[in-house]
Structure 1
Amino acid sequence: MNMNKEIKIAPSILGADYGNLNEYLKKYESFSDWFHVDVMDG
Structure 2
Amino acid sequence: MYYVYILHSATLDSYYVGEVQSLDKRIEQHNAGFYKNSYTS
What TM-score do you get using the length of structure 2 for normalisation? 0.30
The structure in which a higher percent of residues are strand is: 2
Computing the radius of gyration over CA atoms, which structure comes out larger, 1 or 2? 1
Q: Which has the higher contact order (CA 8 A, sep 6+)?
A: 1
**More helix, by proportion:** 1
Q: TM-score of the superposition, structure 1-length normalised?
A: 0.30
